[in-house]
Every structure is written in structure tokens, then in C-alpha cells.
């Protein structure tokens, strides 16, 4: 039956016994122990990650790229006389391991002493997270191709053109040091993203999850198809300030630009837009934000780049920025406690919240549309860049499904706008929030985020399509 | 390297591939940064692996691995074929490639000083000296500097008989002063923003930049921006400095001429292009003085887009992109060239690393020099704004509507450089903008800039590209929209 569906062809499979064997957590731990044994530095840390990733890419209703990769990274940080540096290799032979250990120490010896360097952490306890799904790791090129084939057939049937990706992969990592710390993490990842094009319109949808069974390519493609159809023959509106309804990916892509400002290091460096604004009500009463690596819709390791357990941190409470996140060194400088958000050392940016959860409301996008006399519905934003780092003015474009809302209903597609908008002002003017969902965009990392209706959003120019 | 390639190609042939090419790449990196008098990043890395691309059952497959035993390479090769056959489940037509000869060759870019042989402490000292000069200026709240070096050794081999060995050495460095005061953050960079200048060169490039000698100047400009007047809104004549013009070329010429975008292959992520195929040799892209080439040859200069052969085994070429204002060429590969009826790829397939599929990338996309002396251009300009050093950039997904802002601006009044302006920005439509160009400075003012961080593709790949430009003047451009209330 399956073969008949695909024209009777039998794709040649790589037999399970022929497939390259993934490195197990035990393999990685063995390499880590060997690295630590080889090092003569005062302190040594080793990060090892092994990943298998595959991505099927389609456009013009056909698969045009289809790739897979297996990668390994063995990264060693040495501390010598109060100095630290990092060397990385992807070679596992004894000679390569000796060389990478020696390189890290040699680099460290040749830099000035670092007065802020802290001793490495001892063993830590971590909360368990379950983010490795066998079904995702076992996804085959044929399974991805079959899903893509269905989406392309749907587009053909609708006289539309589909483009997108279907990816799947897995990674295992170990972080260990000579003080006895040993942290392990494994995760799978699946993602489907689709753009459906018509002659003068397009629609887009995207989802990702550690569990491939949570990814529904047909439903995503149908949503994108509907948007493309509903935005045909877009009309041009004059630039200006509009009420906007931002779907979750659009909110995500904007807010991603705000959160490096919640790093203690950014505050010390005086490049945070929160300088002079902590504890002040700068956003609306309805804006509350956490960083929470343990949220069921989040992913990522329960420890940071030095092995500090990640903590749930309340960043904004009812419109007031309350807390920052800290690496160990930044915490010491700022007389705070580490929150488990530090990057691997040595680095210059310190830390950042990477598991954002924005509190939602109870109004759906449909309810927002019904409650809007005149406004713009935005599916997705594109090429967002920071124009003013303190007022947090961002510029970018709408893309793949921008609609006029009139009299409480969607009144058709419009040509894409350029915006120049402060996101501090935006979060002060958000008057309706949807339920928080896991969303994926292109400009920022994944978040748990609601749709938002925002008053007075500034569209400064309009493009030609 | 050749043995690894042979294992791969023997396996894919046995499994039914009709074409294959293989890249074995050995990549070495060194990254150093300093911040406020301390070392930030100090890291080296090496990565060796193989990427195997095949056509089987008329469709593409690719697999990459760093397990370089015979078994590891053969398993990777078998996976590439299996993936190609899975691709065939959803193919419309068999892949067709424009013809190309086989080559056996060796090439290395020239350089004077191997940056990996320069002592680390000397490199750190150079950055710390510039950092110190910036922090001596009152009002500077953050001083940063960075260097990065790349050595890429690669073997390309194909089932058509090519065996091409290339070594590329790349160096780059830059500094940044930042000042926070009141409710404003201002920044000045040298010699360019977002990492400085990068070229296919050795450590001699870093030494030639004189970072410490320029540190005080940019620090003083950074602090002075707080008290400068705001760039006005309206329609004005603008003069762009060469590094800003380099990025303008990158975004509004380099990307839209990528033929994979034009043909819809990037529609889901990077987007498409307004340069649909019927516009080739018909569209008036720019004014008559605008001449742009895509030139990967060493004769063009040691840019980040310079090589002897691309990652599909096609020799480096110079392609006229805009000729006296007329749109005359795309960036192509063997597949897209065949798709639009061209008889040969113009050699722009490039890959970030062994584990990534080569895709169409910019090489050196450069605006040819004009005839103006810079001082004469300023003297010839009655009322304009000079904008220098990029601060932000954004362009729509068809590369038509753009907005750029720069770190600093200067009024030009009555042929003279007058007061400093802060927060300059300009925006427009690509073809309208290039058609408004009425003066380009001469080769004496021309620089081949390196953009080390161009992102494209899924999975994302970062690539270095080159952009030669000299300061140029544009009439009746919209300015100030980024900060309009």
C-alpha cells in the first residue's frame, strides 16, 4: 500500500546494522574521563556533545535539498595560574585528545591573569528533564519525504507552491570538570516549517518540539495555505500607527531582542536598556515574564555553561522588571546569587535567559479580531534589527500573511509594512493577550508566548508587495 | 584526504549514484576578544570531516561525518545515497547540471604572516593597547576589541574526475567604543562595525589596521555623538562611506542576484528576489555609472569571496552583474544555470564546513570605482548628509525595500564637512536608490571590505563575502524614518 502510494518505488534503505552508530552517553563520559586524566592544568573542564541532525528541504513542490550530519565536539577549558582558555576538537584519537588538552593550557599560560576567575564548581544536583524521544531520533529520510510529499500534493491541488523544511535530530552532551562535576543531557528535536505561495500572496506556519509526534505537517501546511489564499491581491495601506494583532511567532521574534538586556553583564557594561529602569513600571500591568527551563513547553539542559543548575527566575512582574540573571562571576561582582544562566567560559557576554515564558491571557486571536474596529493582523516578521539600543527601537518587515482587520473581521491581505517600534512601548500598549503557547520564529529562540493586540504600533513605510 | 574521498566515491558508485562530489575539510580557528582591559574570549578549535553529495534516482542527497575511519566514511556515503533515494519520493524532474570540466589543481592564497604562528600574548597585547586608548577618553563606558583567524584546507573530488586542493587563510580584527549617558547608548567602531575588517590574508592585515592609532579618535567621536544634533527627516542627498556602501551592495545587490532565491529555493527562510528572470539584461538596476561585478578571482583582491575553485569544482570567474546600470548577471551554480538555460555555472557554490551542503553564496560583489576624488566630491556637494559605519540593516524578503542606519553622520554644507549628526538613517527601494547614484569615488578611495557573518540556508550556514566600494553620492533619498515619531 505504501509503495503504491509513492508510485511503486522502493527507496533503498540503509540497513540498521549499516547505520553509523550514535555515540552513547557512556561513550561521551569515557572521553571526558580520558581528557581529565590527560590534563596537567590546575583545573580542567570538558564539554562534549555528539549530534545527529537531518533536514529535508522542499521548494517548488519538490524536495531540492536533503541532508544529514553527524558531529562531535570535544571542548577543553584549562585553568593555569589564574588564567583560562579553551581549545576544541572533533577528533577522538589519543593524540588529538592530548593535543587539545595541551592547547588549552598553552593558550591560558599566554594571557594576563584574570582577577575575576572563580574556582571550578564541585559536583551539583540537577532536576531531571525528559526531552529525548526515541520516535524523533528514529525519524527516517523516507518518513520526512512522505510528509513533504503530502504537503506538496496539497499545494499542487490548490494551485499553490510549497516551500519549507522538515528536520529531525538528537544530541547528547556531557559537562565534567576536575573538581568532580559531571552533568549529562540528551535531547531530540523535530521541526516543520512551511511557506505556501500564490502569485501575489503567501502564508507561513512553523512548529518544533523534542517529540516529532507533536509536529503536524499537514495541519501547518493547511494553515499556511489558507493565509496565502486569504491574502490574495493585497492592497496598499498608508504607513502610520495602527492597532496590531501579533500572532505568537511575531511576538517571539520581537521579544527575543529584549532579553539579553536581562543579563547582569549587560547591566555592568551599561548596554542594557534596563539601566535605570529596574523596579520601575515600564510595561503594562498584564506583562509578567519568567525564565523557566523546566516549563513543560520548553527545552534545553537543566544546567548552564559552568554546570550551575538553572533556576526559575521572575524577570518581569506586572509590568515591572524585577530580576536579572547571573553567571557565577557576574553574581560575585554584583553581590547576587548565580541563577544558572552563564555561558561557557571564557566569554564576554556573561549570561542570558534562554527559556522565556511570557504569561498569557484568555483571549484568542479570533476574539482580538472581533474586538478590533480597524487594525492589522500580522503572521510573521522578518529581518528585525535594533535601531536604538536604549529605547529598544526595532525595525523589520511583516511577511507571509499580513491582513487588514475592519469592523471586527479580516478584510483581506495588504502589502507588507516596515516597522520602527520601541518594544518597551509595545509592552506598555498590549491590551489583549492570548493563551501562551510554544512558538517558533526565525529571528529568536523558541519561547512560550501569547498572541498580543497592541495599540499604536508604528509602521513607517510600505513595500511593493 | 584523497583516500577518504576515494572511499566515499567508491561506495556511492556501488550503491547507484550517478554523480558524486566530496569535500574533505580541515578547519582551524583562533578567536580572541578583550573587553574593558580584560581578555574576553581566548579559544582555538579544529574540525576535520567529510561531506558527500550525490545524485541518485535523479535526486540529491548529502551526508557529512567526522568519523573518518573507512567504516565511518562508507556508512556516511551509504546514507547520502539513501537520502537521495528518499528525495526521489517527492521529485518532479531529474536533477540536471550545466556541464563542467574536471580539474586537478592545488591553490593557496598568498599571505605574509601566518597568524597561528604569531604568539598569543602579542595578539592580546595589541588588542589591550587599543582598549586602553579607548578607555582613556572620558565618557567611554565599554571598550571592546577582537581578532579572528581561519585556516581552511580542503580537498574537492568528484566522480567526474576533479581533485582540487585549496588552502585559505583568513584574518580579521576590529575595535568598538560604546558610551552610555542619560537615556542614550552610542557606539563607534573601527575599521568597520560587527567585527572590523576581514580579508583572505595573514596577520599583516591586523598590523596594517593600526587599531591603537585609531582608538582615541573613535572613542572621542562616540562620546561626542551624545551632544550632536539628531539626523533630520526628509528627502536629501546622501554620501555613503565605503564600508556602509559595501553592506548596501551586499543586501540590495548581492542577495537578490542569488539564482536559488530567484527560483524559489529559499522561499521559506531567506526569501525570494524581485529580480525575476525576465528582468535579466532588461532592468535598469542603477544609473549609468553603476558597474558591479561578482569576482572570485585573486586578481580582484584578497576578499572573503576569493578562491580558485568553488565548492562544486567550478573555477573562479568574474561575472558582470550590473553593466552601465543594466542588470546583466546572476550568481549561479551548475543546477540553476542549467535551469535558466545558461551554458555554465559562474562558480558561486560555497560551504561553511564539511558538514554543510554547498549553496549559492556571494563571492566578491563589488561596485567598480568611479572617477571622483573624495575631497572634490565633498566640495561639489552643496547640501547633503555623509553617513559612515553601519549600525543596523534590514531589507524585505524580496530585497526591495531597505532601511539602514549608521553610527555617525556629518552635514555637508556648501561643499564642506560641517557639524556631526547622531542616529543617521536612510531607506528606500533598491532600484530607485541605485538609479539615484550620481558620483562614485576613484580607486584611491576603494576598499575591498569583508563581511564575515552572512547567514543563509537551512541548516543555517555562515559565510564570508567580499564587497569593494568607494564613497558614493545618492540624490533624493529618504532619511530619518528610523527615528520618526
Same domain, B239 and B222: no
Q: What's the rounded Cα separation, in Å, for the pair A310 and B423?
A: 39
Q: Are residues B267 and B122 in the same domain?
A: no
Please determine, for residue A17, whether its predicted confidence score (pLDDT) is greater than 60: no
**Pairwise CA distance, residues A57 & B259, whole Å:** 17
pLDDT at B303 over 70: yes
Chain-chain contact of B86 with A107 (C-beta, under 8 angstroms): no
Distance (Å) from the alpha carbon of A128 to chain B's nearest alpha carbon: 29
**Mean pLDDT in residue range B17-45:** 97
Q: What is the pLDDT of residues A229-280, one digit of tens each?
A: 999 999 999 999 999 999 999 999 999 999 899 999 999 999 999 999 999 9
* Residue B232 confidence (pLDDT): 97
Question: Reduced to 3 states, what is the DSSP secondary structure of residue A299?
Answer: coil
Q: Which residues of B touch A58 (CB under 8 A)?
A: 90
pLDDT at position A21: 65
pLDDT at A18: 53
β-pairing, B163-181 with B104-108?
parallel
> Are residues B184 and A390 in contact, defined by beta-carbon separation less than 8 angstroms?
yes
Q: Do both A195 and A250 map to the same domain? A: no
Domain boundary among A175, A191, A217: A217
Distance CA(A461)–CA(B11), nearest Å, equals: 55
Kindly state whether residues B302 and B184 are assigned to the same domain. no
Q: What is the pLDDT of residue B243?
A: 98
HSE-CB for B389 with a 13 A CA cutoff = 25
Contacts of A221 in chain B (CB under 8 A): none
The reply to whether A255 and A208 lie within a common domain is no
A224 domain residue, yes or no: no
- Residues from chain A that touch B92, judged by Cβ atoms under 8 A, are 60-62
pLDDT of A76 reads 98
B59–chain A Cβ distance below 8 A for any pair: yes
**Is A62's CB within 8 Å of B88's CB?**
no
Mean pLDDT of B251-263: 98
Q: Mutate which of B175, B360, B397, B424 to disrupt the A interface (most A C-beta within 10 Å)?
A: B397
Average pLDDT of the residues in B166-183: 97
CATH number at residue B202: 3.30.2290.10
* Pair B142, B284 in one domain: no
Mean pLDDT of A379-395: 97
B189: contact with A, CB 8 A cutoff: no
- Asked if the model's pLDDT at residue B319 lies above 90, the reply is yes
Q: What is the mean predicted confidence (pLDDT) over B99-104?
A: 98
- Which of B227, B261, B285 is a domain's end point? B227
Scanning B219-258 for CB atoms below 8 A from A yields: none
Whole-number pLDDT of residue A15? 52
Averaged pLDDT, A22-34: 90
Any A CB within 8 A of B62 CB: yes
Q: For B291-316, what is the mean pLDDT?
A: 98
Q: Give how many domains chain B has, as a whole number.
A: 2
Cis peptide before B286 (omega within 30 of 0): no
For residue B132, count other CB atoms closer than 10 A to its CB: 14
Q: Is residue A302 part of a domain?
A: yes
Same domain, yes or no, for A208 and A245?
Answer: no
In this complex, is the C-beta atom of A375 within 8 Å of any C-beta atom belonging to chain B? no
Kindly report, residue by residue over A115-171, the tens digit of the pLDDT.
999 999 999 999 999 999 999 999 999 999 999 999 999 999 999 999 999 999 999
Q: Which residues constitute the domain of residue A437?
A: 234-465
Please indicate, yes or no, if residue A2 is contained in any of the structural domains.
no
Q: What helix, strand, coil percent values describe chain A, rounded to 5?
A: 25, 40, 40
The set of cell numbers assigned to B485 is 515619531
Q: What percent of chain B clears pLDDT 70, i.e. is strictly above it?
A: 100
Q: Do both A183 and A303 map to the same domain? A: no
- Please indicate if any CB of chain B lies within 8 Å of the CB of A204: yes
Boundaries of domain holding B174: 2-227
Distance CA A150, CA A194 (A): 12
Residue of B nearest to A17 (CA): B75
Q: Determine the residue among B33, B38, B42, B72 to mutate to test chain A binding: the one whose Cβ has the most chain A Cβ atoms within 10 Å.
A: B42
Residue that finishes a domain, picked among B166, B198, B227: B227
> Is B192 in the same domain as B267?
no
A145 vs B76: CB contact, 8 Å cut-off?
no
CA–CA min distance B282, chain A (Å): 20
Once rounded to an integer, what is the mean pLDDT over residues B143-163?
A: 98
End position of a domain, from candidates B204, B227, B250:
B227
Which positions in chain B touch A465 (Cβ < 8 Å)? 396, 398, 400
Our CA-based measurement puts residue A420 at a distance from the nearest CA of chain B, in whole angstroms, of 6
Q: Are residues B64 and B198 in the same domain?
A: yes
Helix, strand, coil shares of chain B as percentages rounded to 5? 25, 40, 35
Q: Is residue A67 part of a domain?
A: yes
Q: Are residues B405 and B459 in the same domain?
A: yes
Per-residue cell: B193: 562595525
Task: Report yes or no: B58 and B39 within 8 Å, Cβ to Cβ.
Answer: no
Instruction: Establish if A4 belongs to a structural domain.
Output: no
**B44-54, pLDDT tens digit by residue?**
999 999 999 99
A244 with A171, same domain: the answer is: no
Residue B117: pLDDT over 70? yes
Q: Is B83 in Cβ contact with A141 (below 8 Å)?
A: yes
Query: Is the pLDDT at A177 greater than 90, yes or no?
Result: yes
**Smallest CA–CA separation between B393 and chain A, in Å?**
6
The residue written with cell numbers 529555493 in the block is: B265
Q: Residue A114 and residue A347: Cα distance in Å, rounded?
A: 12
Nearest to B68 by CA among B2, B134, B135, B15: B2
CA–CA dist A379, A385 (Å, integer): 18
Do B178 and A63 lie within an 8 Å CB cutoff?
Answer: no
Q: Which of chain B's residues have a Cβ under 8 Å away from the Cβ of A149? A: 89-90
Scan residues 385-404 of B and list those with Cβ closer than 8 Å to A.
391-398, 400-401, 403
Q: In the listed set A217, A247, A282, which residue is the last one of a domain according to the structure?
A: A217
Residue A407, judged by CB atoms within 10 A of its CB (0-12, 13-18, 19+), counts as exposed
* Domain finish residue from A188, A217, A246: A217
Q: Does A56 touch chain B (CB under 8 A)?
A: yes
Quote the percentage of chain A above a pLDDT of 70.
Answer: 95
Same domain, A200 and A254: no
CATH of the domain at A34: 3.30.2290.10
How close, in Å, is residue A246 to chain B by CA atoms? 18
Q: How far is B349 from chain A (nearest CA, A)?
A: 14
pTM score: 0.96
Cβ within 8 Å, pair B78-A463: no
- Is there a contact between A11 and B41 if contact means CB atoms under 8 Å apart? no
Q: Does A152 touch chain B (CB under 8 A)?
A: yes
CB A462 within 8 A of CB A418: yes
Residues B8-12 have a mean pLDDT of 97
Give yes or no: residues A256 and A117 share one domain: no
Q: Do B243 and B202 share a structural domain?
A: no
- Mean pLDDT for all residues in chain A: 94
Q: Based on the domain organization, do B233 and B211 belong to the same domain? A: no
Residue B309, helix vs strand vs coil:
strand
Residue B8 sits in the same domain as residue B102:
yes
Looking at the fold, whether A254 and A157 belong to one and the same domain comes out as no
B260 and B123 in a common domain: no
Calculate how close chain A gets to B1, using CA atoms only, in Å: 15
User: A358 lies in a domain?
Assistant: yes
Q: How far is B84 from chain A (nearest CA, A)?
A: 7
Residues A393 and A433 in one domain: yes
Residue whose C-alpha cell is 568607494: B470
Q: Which of A455, A465, A461, A464 is nearest to A238 (CA)?
A: A461
Inter-axis angle of helices B2-14 and B70-87, nearest 10: 40
| Residue of chain B minimizing CA distance to A102 | B44
Same domain, A73 and A118: yes
Residue A6 lies in a domain: no
pLDDT range class, residue A25, cuts 50, 70, 90: confident
Q: Is the pLDDT of residue B113 over 70?
A: yes
Give the tens place of pLDDT for each residue, A63-107.
Answer: 999 999 999 999 999 999 999 999 999 999 999 999 999 999 999
Contacts of B213 (CB under 8 A, 6+ apart): none
Size of the A and B interface in Cβ pairs below 8 Å: 300
What's the mean pLDDT when you consider all of chain B? 97
Q: Could you tell me which chain B residue has the CA closest to the CA of A344? A: B41
Total domains present in chain A: 2
What's the pLDDT at A19? 55
Which residues have a Cβ under 8 Å from the Cβ of B250 and sit 6 or more positions away?
A: B362, B365, B451, B454, B465, B467
Is A3 part of any domain? no
Same domain, residue pair B464 and B333: yes
Chain B CB within 8 Å of residue A12 CB? yes
CB contact B452 to A (< 8 Å): no
Find the mean pLDDT for residues B262-277: 97
Residue A29 pLDDT > 60, yes or no? yes
- Residue A332: pLDDT band with limits 50, 70, 90: very high
Same structural domain, A267 and A376: yes
pLDDT of residue B87: 96
Indicate whether A187 and A258 sit together in one domain.
no
Q: Does A6 touch chain B (CB under 8 A)?
A: yes
Amino acid at each position: 500500500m505504501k509503495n503504491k502510494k509513492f508510485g511503486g518505488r522502493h527507496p533503498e534503505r540503509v540497513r540498521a546494522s549499516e547505520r553509523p552508530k550514535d555515540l552513547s552517553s557512556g561513550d561521551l563520559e569515557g572521553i571526558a574521563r580520558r581528557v581529565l586524566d590527560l590534563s596537567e592544568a590546575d583545573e580542567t573542564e570538558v564539554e562534549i556533545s555528539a549530534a545527529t541532525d537531518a533536514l529535508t528541504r522542499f521548494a517548488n513542490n519538490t524536495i531540492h535539498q536533503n541532508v544529514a550530519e553527524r558531529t562531535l565536539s570535544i571542548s577543553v577549558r584549562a585553568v593555569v595560574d589564574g588564567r583560562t582558555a579553551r581549545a576544541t576538537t572533533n577528533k577522538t584519537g589519543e593524540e588529538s585528545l592530548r593535543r587539545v588538552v595541551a592547547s588549552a593550557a598553552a593558550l591560558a599560560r599566554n594571557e594576563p591573569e584574570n582577577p575575576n576567575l572563580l574556582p571550578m564548581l564541585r559536583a551539583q544536583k540537577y532536576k531531571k528533564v525528559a526531552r529525548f524521544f526515541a520516535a524523533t531520533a528514529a525519524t527516517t529520510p523516507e518518513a520526512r519525504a512522505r510528509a513533504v510529499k503530502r504537503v506538496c500534493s496539497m499545494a499542487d491541488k490548490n494551485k499553490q507552491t510549497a516551500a519549507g523544511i522538515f528536520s529531525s535530530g538528537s544530541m547528547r552532551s556531557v559537562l565534567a570538570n576536575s573538581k568532580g562535576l559531571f552533568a549529562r543531557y540528551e535531547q531530540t528535536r523535530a521541526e516543520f516549517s512551511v511557506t505556501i505561495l500564490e502569485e501575489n500572496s503567501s502564508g507561513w506556519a512553523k512548529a518544533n518540539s523534542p517529540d516529532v509526534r507533536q509536529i503536524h505537517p499537514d495541519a501547518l501546511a493547511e494553515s499556511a495555505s489558507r493565509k496565502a489564499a486569504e491574502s490574495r491581491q493585497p492592497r496598499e495601506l498608508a504607513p502610520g500607527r495602527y492597532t496590531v494583532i501579533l500572532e505568537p511567532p511575531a511576538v517571539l521574534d520581537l521579544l527575543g531582542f529584549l532579553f539579553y538586556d536581562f543579563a547582569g553583564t549587560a547591566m555592568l557594561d551599561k548596554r542594557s536598556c534596563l539601566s535605570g529602569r529596574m523596579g520601575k513600571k515600564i510595561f503594562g500591568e498584564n506583562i509578567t515574564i519568567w525564565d523557566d527551563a523546566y516549563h513543560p513547553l520548553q527545552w534545553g539542559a537543566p544546567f548552564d555553561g559552568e554546570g550551575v543548575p538553572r533556576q526559575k527566575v521572575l524577570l518581569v512582574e506586572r509590568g515591572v522588571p524585577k530580576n536579572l540573571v547571573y553567571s557565577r562571576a557576574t553574581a560575585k561582582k554584583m553581590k547576587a546569587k548565580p541563577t544558572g544562566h552563564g555561558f561557557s567560559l571564557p566569554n564576554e557576554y556573561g549570561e542570558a535567559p534562554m527559556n522565556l515564558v511570557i504569561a498569557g491571557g484568555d483571549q484568542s486571536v479570533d476574539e482580538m479580531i472581533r474586538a478590533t474596529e480597524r487594525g492589522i493582523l500580522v503572521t510573521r516578521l522578518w529581518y528585525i534589527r535594533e535601531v536604538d539600543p536604549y529605547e529598544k527601537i526595532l525595525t523589520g518587515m511583516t511577511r507571509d500573511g499580513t491582513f487588514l482587520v475592519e469592523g471586527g473581521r479580516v478584510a483581506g491581505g495588504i502589502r507588507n509594512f516596515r516597522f520602527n517600534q520601541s518594544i518597551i512601548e509595545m509592552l506598555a500598549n498590549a491590551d489583549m493577550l492570548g493563551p501562551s503557547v510554544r512558538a517558533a520564529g526565525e529571528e529568536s529562540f523558541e519561547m512560550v508566548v501569547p498572541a498580543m493586540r497592541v495599540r499604536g504600533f508604528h509602521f513607517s513605510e510600505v513595500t511593493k508587495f | 584526504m584523497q583516500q577518504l574521498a576515494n572511499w566515499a566515491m567508491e561506495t556511492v558508485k556501488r550503491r547507484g549514484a550517478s554523480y558524486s562530489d566530496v569535500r574533505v575539510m580541515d578547519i582551524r580557528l583562533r578567536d580572541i576578544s578583550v573587553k574593558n582591559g580584560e581578555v574576553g574570549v581566548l579559544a582555538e578549535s579544529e574540525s576535520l570531516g567529510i561531506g558527500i553529495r550525490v545524485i541518485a534516482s535523479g535526486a540529491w542527497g548529502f551526508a557529512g561525518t567526522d568519523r573518518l575511519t573507512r567504516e565511518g566514511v562508507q556508512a556516511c556515503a551509504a546514507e547520502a545515497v539513501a537520502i537521495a533515494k528518499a528525495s526521489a519520493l517527492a521529485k518532479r524532474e531529474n536533477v540536471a547540471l550545466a556541464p563542467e570540466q574536471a580539474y586537478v589543481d592545488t591553490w593557496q592564497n598568498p599571505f605574509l604572516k601566518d597568524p597561528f604562528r604569531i604568539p598569543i600574548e602579542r595578539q592580546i597585547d595589541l588588542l589591550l593597547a587599543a582598549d586602553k586608548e579607548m578607555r582613556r577618553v572620558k565618557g567611554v563606558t565599554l571598550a571592546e576589541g577582537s581578532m579572528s583567524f581561519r585556516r581552511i584546507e580542503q580537498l574537492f573530488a568528484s566522480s567526474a574526475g576533479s581533485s582540487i586542493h585549496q588552502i585559505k587563510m583568513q584574518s580579521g580584527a576590529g575595535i568598538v567604543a560604546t558610551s552610555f549617558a542619560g537615556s542614550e547608548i552610542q557606539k563607534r567602531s573601527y575599521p568597520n562595525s560587527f567585527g572590523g575588517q576581514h580579508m583572505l590574508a595573514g596577520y599583516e592585515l591586523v598590523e596594517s589596521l593600526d587599531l591603537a592609532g585609531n582608538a582615541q579618535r573613535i572613542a572621542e567621536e562616540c562620546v561626542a555623538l551624545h551632544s550632536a544634533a539628531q539626523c533630520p527627516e526628509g528627502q536629501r542627498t546622501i554620501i555613503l562611506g565605503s564600508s556602509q556602501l559595501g553592506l548596501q551592495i551586499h543586501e540590495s545587490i548581492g542577495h537578490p542576484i542569488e539564482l536559488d532565491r530567484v527560483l524559489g529555493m529559499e522561499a521559506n527562510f531567506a526569501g525570494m528576489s524581485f529580480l525575476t528572470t525576465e528582468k535579466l539584461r532588461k532592468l535598469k538596476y542603477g544609473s549609468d555609472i553603476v558597474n558591479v561585478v561578482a569576482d572570485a578571482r585573486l586578481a580582484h583582491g584578497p576578499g572573503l569571496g576569493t578562491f580558485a575553485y568553488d565548492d562544486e569544482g567550478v573555477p573562479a570567474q568574474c561575472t558582470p552583474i550590473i553593466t552601465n546600470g543594466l542588470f546583466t548577471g546572476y550568481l549561479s551554480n551548475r543546477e540553476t544555470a542549467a535551469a535558466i538555460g545558461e551554458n555554465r555555472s559562474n562558480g558561486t557554490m560555497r560551504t561553511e564546513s564539511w558538514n554543510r551542503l554547498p549553496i549559492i553564496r556571494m563571492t566578491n560583489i563589488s561596485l567598480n570605482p568611479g572617477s571622483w576624488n573624495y575631497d572634490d566630491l565633498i566640495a561639489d556637494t552643496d547640501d547633503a548628509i555623509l553617513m559612515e559605519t553601519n549600525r543596523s540593516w534590514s531589507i524585505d524578503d524580496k530585497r526591495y525595500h531597505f532601511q539602514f542606519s549608521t553610527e555617525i553622520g556629518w552635514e555637508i554644507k556648501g561643499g564642506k564637512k560641517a557639524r556631526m549628526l547622531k542616529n543617521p538613517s536612510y531607506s528606500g527601494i533598491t532600484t530607485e536608490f541605485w538609479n539615484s547614484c550620481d558620483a562614485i569615488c576613484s580607486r584611491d578611495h576603494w576598499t575591498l571590505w569583508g563581511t564575515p557573518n552572512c547567514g543563509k540556508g537551512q541548516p543555517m550556514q555562515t559565510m564570508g563575502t567580499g564587497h569593494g566600494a568607494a564613497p558614493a553620492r545618492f540624490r533624493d533619498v529618504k532619511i530619518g524614518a528610523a527615528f520618526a515619531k
